[in-house]
Structure 1
Amino acid sequence: MKIVELHARAMELAAEVVDTVRPDQLDLPTPCAGWTLRRLLEHCAGQHQGFAAAARGAGPDLALFADAPVDADPAGVFRRTGVDLTAAFQEAAAVERALWLPEIRDGGPFPFAQAVGFHLLDTLVHGWDVAAALGSPDALVAAVDGDDALADALSAVTEAVPNTPEARAPGRAFRPGLEPGGGAGRFDRALALLGRDPAWRAS
């Protein structure tokens, strides 16, 4: 299965989680240290916009990845920016366009499939962050674990993320990896390798 199709699956699974967010829940804490649910969703929408611009040929401009306000319609903003990103990836796939991603390592350009893989990981992990903040991550975990192609793609990208002190320092996208439990499923294993505790719940 093509990476663009797998990414579209990931986007839909995450959007289904975000569809359940109510405006009065936007101040809930999330597994992203110091981030409320609002801050997380604004980050996601900004990443959608930045990756879409990169897929359409934009250079390494950090301003394109700035957080986007979600106001009182987090689900609508997430879906609208997500649909635009999916369209941008489909357009870029036709020419295998490399993407400039200024937040990642040296900024690129990164090969098309690799760049889409980066966002697939981001989408599923942040989808889990949202679901965990809402207290209901099990359905998303089961959906990913039950989709071999999607779980394979997530595992491949996760295992390629450097787990060095420099790459996992404070302020970086991921914390130092954790040891997955013996009975961990594939999604839980990916979360642990990225420094997320699959058992996280809001205190």
Structure 2
Amino acid sequence: MSEDLTTVAPEPLALLSRALDQAGEVLARVREEQHDLPTPCRSWTVARLGDHLVYDLSQFALTATGGTPDWSAPVPPVVGDRAAIFRKGAADLLELWRAAGDLTGTITLPGLGEVPARFPVDQQTAEFAMHAWDLATATGQSTDLDPQVGQSSLDWVRRTLQPHFRAKEVDGGAFGPEVPIADDAPLYDRLAAFAGRSPGDA
């Protein structure tokens, strides 16, 4: 693995906390009549993307405690107030990461080799940043989101999203081919385009 992968943005838990707060705020502004709207994120509706955000928390909690999430399992529907459930899960996830201890040094991950110990935290920050844009775009909210979270996430995916991780939506890919976009496009649009979304079509 290249040395570039070990050079990442500072304060991983602070960034994750901001990414979680941001995603929770976007989720809280979703109106019930918007639940069946399509999103830029694969074929999910707004409601299913909200379910996925909540599910991410429990899956990432497994990572924080040394477990391995099963991403092939179906995402269960959320019963109740998604935003409130998300906020509680977000607080729990941060506590688990704080209890996990030192995030300096390196760890070894299957398929990636040796990476910074903070790698899973940065991955989670990027996940919630990307989905905040997905959800905000789908529901007509502002996508002028936290710039430090957005830049850290864009830097992280540029270093780590290797070509073999990409696949078209019809083939079940979470990340499609990179979409061309202007260098001066809004930050989160550039993040979305790199992850295979088409900001101009959102």
1:146-198 deviation line (CA, Å, top 9, x unaligned):
x4xx343112212023352x321131221100111243132221211111122
Alignment of 1:165-176 (within 5 A): 166-169=164-167, 170-176=171-177
Please provide the CA RMSD for this pair.
Answer: 2.8
In structure 2, the residue matched to 1:117 is 122
1:17 counterpart = 2:26: yes
Give the direction of change, closer, same or farther, for the CA distance of 1:151–1:36 in structure 2 (3 Å limit): closer
Q: Which runs of 5+ in 1 are unaligned?
A: none
Pick aligned residue for 2:146 from 124, 144, 147: 144
In structure 2, the residue matched to 1:33 is 42
Instruction: Measure, in 2, the Cα distance between the counterparts of 1:98 and 1:82.
Output: 25
Q: Which runs of 5+ in 2 are unaligned?
A: 1-9
Please report how far the alpha carbon of residue 50 of structure 1 lies from its aligned counterpart in structure 2 after TM superposition: 1.0
Q: Which amino acid aligns with 1:193?
A: F
Instruction: Measure, in 2, the Cα distance between the counterparts of 1:113 and 1:106.
Output: 17
Please report how far the alpha carbon of residue 109 of structure 1 lies from its aligned counterpart in structure 2 after TM superposition: 8.8
1:10-54 deviation line (CA, Å, top 9, x unaligned):
111111100112333222111123211121111111111011122
Q: Which amino acid aligns with 1:57?
A: G
Alignment identity in percent?
29
In structure 1, the residue matched to 2:5 is none
Give the direction of change, closer, same or farther, for the CA distance of 1:97–1:70 in structure 2 (3 Å limit): farther
In structure 2, the residue matched to 1:179 is 180
TM-score, reference length from structure 1: 0.80
TM-score, reference length from structure 2: 0.80
Instruction: Measure, in 2, the Cα distance between the counterparts of 1:106 and 1:171.
Output: 19
Give the direction of change, closer, same or farther, for the CA distance of 1:115–1:26 in structure 2 (3 Å limit): same
Alignment of 1:39-54 (within 5 A): 39-54=48-63
Tell me which moved more, 109-118 or 121-130.
109-118
Give the direction of change, closer, same or farther, for the CA distance of 1:199–1:144 in structure 2 (3 Å limit): farther
